[in-house]
Structures are given as structure tokens and as C-alpha cells.
Amino acid sequence: MFIAGEASGDAHAAELVKALRAQAPDVKVFGAGGPKMRAAGMEMLLDLTEHAVVGLVEVLKNYLKFRRIFWDLVREAENRKPDAVVLVDFPGFNLRFAAQMKKRGIKVIYYISPQLWAWHANRAKQIERDVDLMLTIFPFEKDWYAKHASKLRVEFVGHPFAERMRDEGGGMKREESLILLLPGSREREVAKIWPIMRQVIDRMPLETKFVAGAVNESMAAIIKHPRVTVEIGKAHEWMERATLAITASGTATMECAFYSCPMIVVYKVNWLTYLIGRMIVKVNWLAMPNVIANRAIVPEFIQHDATPQRITSAARLLIGDVTERQAMQRELAAVVNTLGGAGASKRAAELILTAL
């Protein structure tokens, strides 16, 4: 049984489902996820990616819906008794699900660790209790768990995007003065960040070209501007072609890093969510390339700093200065080199099958 609740988790889990089926053709996979997992051969009980929200306030507003979904999936696990449940990121939901599976004697494997090193380090003991095998995609996470949950079995498998880049990368030439806009993969996230990006567009020179990436039709409907071409499901192609990306904080920052696309990172949420986050977040940066490098190699504009004026100033600098862009690309390449080569899904599948 698989559970993935966001677009990035759906993509990574789909590759893992394919790898499992390649190594064990008789394996049966069912669960909740997204369209890519269905396409990979998973029996879909529920498209959980359609319900993804960001921020504490938004989660509370949708509490009853998530509660119903949660217990429906618990009952499904009880009835089917899978050999293992594979939980993919999505910690607010999946950590609670892990506890319920542990009570029912079902093996729990977690793929793509919650970022406990950034927030909620105290949950490490809960994971140690409820999870049988943790598969991480960042090398420093194994050492972190060794200090905070020494009894938990943790294996670093590498970043799944390495193999996707190998398969998808086409060696396209970058287009001068082309900016890729990535306002996020969830509706409320896009609703917060797109208005800022619209104002940045209006402040940039008329010769600047813009393309915006959307994960589906509903997101594309939000992203409107006369100077912007909206593309659905083609973000990786444009990461290869753009001179610069302006992106929401999240998985896209690592994807840009793999494609060596210079970037500016933007993050804005409900103020209450932000204030609570400030109290519990333990890292100095939000963009994953900065976290891995342990320094600011890409500019971040967070909450009150995420103003059109400041973002435009940074965009003009990077668009106009090839030396600055090349320096950032070298730093991004160094980050990518720490994450292992292609084969993360294959290694994860091998470890899962061995655990069973």
C-alpha cells in the first residue's frame, strides 16, 4: 500500500512503483496518490494530490475532510492487510498513518524523510517507534537520524530526480532573457505567490520573455498575464531552456538545481502559519540547495521580504550578469554532486523487497 499526498510525492512514488514491478512482476500495489502513480500501475483508491493544501490554517479548515480520508484508508489497510505500507513524504498525514499501521502489525516503510532536521526534531522518536525502514534522499539525513533515533534503520538511496533528469534531459540551449515562473503546485500556494510574480513581470523590461509552469489545468487557470505563456507539465523542459527561474520554495528548487537553472526563491503563506513556522523551524534557509550547501547560494525572499520590488531587483541582476549566473550554476552543481547518481528508485525497491 502506498500513500503520497502531493505532486512531487506522486512523481517520486510512481518511479518507485515502476522499479518494484520491474524487480518483482507479481507485486500488487494499491493506495492513495496521484495520476502518475496510477499510470505506473497502482490501483488508485483516491487521488490525494487533489486535496493537497499548504499551511496550518488551511489544514485546520480542511480537518474534517482529511479525517474522513484518513480513517477510510486505515480501514482499507485493515481489510487488505498489505505486506507493507510505503509512506511518501506528506508528514502531517503519513506520520499519523504510520502509528495506526504499527498498532495493526503492518510493516511501515517511509520513503523521502520528513524534514525533521528543519522542524519537529522531537518527532524522531515517534518515527523510531512507528517506522521499520526509513529511505532518505539526502545524505546528511542518515547521520541526523543516527544522533536522534539510533534504533531506526535508515538507508540513503540517493535523490530520485537524478534518474529522471538522465531520462528527460535533452541538452537544450538556454534562451536569452527567458524567465521561468514556478508559483507552486497547490492552489492556495499559487494564490499567494502568483500575484507577486505578476507584479514582477510588469516591472521587467519588455524584451524579457516569460513562461509559467503549471501542474494541471486548475492551476493554469489561476496563472494569467498577457506577457506569459502557460505550460502544463513541462517545467523540466523549461528549466533546461530558461536563463532564470523564479520559483516557490519546495521540490522545484532541487529540480532547478539538477537542471543547473539559476533561480530566485519565493515563499509566502498565511501570516499565522508563518509566525508559527518561525517559532519551530530550525534552519536558516528554506530553499533545499541552500540547506544542503549550508549557505545562501540562491537568493530567498520570504514572507514580508517577498516584495515585487526586491524580487525584480534580484531578477534584473541575474538576467543581466552572466558571471553571477555561472557562479550560481557552479554552486548548484556542487550540491547535486553530493546526492548520488541515478538509480534511487531501483535501490529503494531493492531495500523494500529485501525488507519483505
215-230 confidence digits (pLDDT tens): 889 889 999 999 999 9
Give the helix ranges, DSSP H, for the chain.
7-23, 35-39, 56-61, 63-80, 91-103, 123-130, 139-148, 161-168, 187-203, 217-222, 235-241, 251-258, 271-280, 288-293, 308-320, 322-336, 344-355
Q: What is the pLDDT of residue 167?
A: 65
Percent of the chain with pLDDT over 90: 76
Which one of 1.10.260.40, 3.40.50.2000, 3.40.50.300, 2.70.70.10 gives the CATH number of domain 2-158+340-355? 3.40.50.2000
pLDDT tens-digit series, residues 70-109: 999 999 999 999 999 999 999 989 999 999 999 999 999 9
Burial of 205 (0-12, 13-18, 19+ CB in 10 A): exposed
Q: What is the pLDDT of residue 185?
A: 85
Is residue 169 scored above 70 in pLDDT? no
Instruction: Provide the β-strand partners of residue 43.
Output: 30
pTM of the model: 0.80
Nearest to 282 by CA among 115, 55, 58: 115
Per the listing, cell 483508491 goes with 45
Q: What is the pLDDT of residue 228?
A: 97
Taking the C-alpha atoms of residue 54 and residue 58, their distance in angstroms, rounded to an integer, is 6
Q: What is the pLDDT of residue 205?
A: 96
With bands split at pLDDT 50, 70 and 90, how would you rate the model's confidence at 166? Answer: low
pLDDT tens-digit series, residues 288-315: 999 999 899 999 999 889 999 999 999 9
* Same fold flag, 2-158+340-355 and 167-336: yes
pLDDT tens-digit series, residues 112-137: 999 888 777 889 999 999 999 999 99
For the chain, the structural domain boundaries read 2-158+340-355, 167-336
Q: What is the pLDDT of residue 284?
A: 79
| Other Cβ atoms closer than 10 A to 266 | 30
Q: Say which CATH topology domain 167-336 has.
A: Rossmann fold (3.40.50)
Taking the C-alpha atoms of residue 194 and residue 200, their distance in angstroms, rounded to an integer, is 10
Q: What is the pLDDT of residue 59?
A: 63
- CB contact at 8 A, 253 and 298: yes
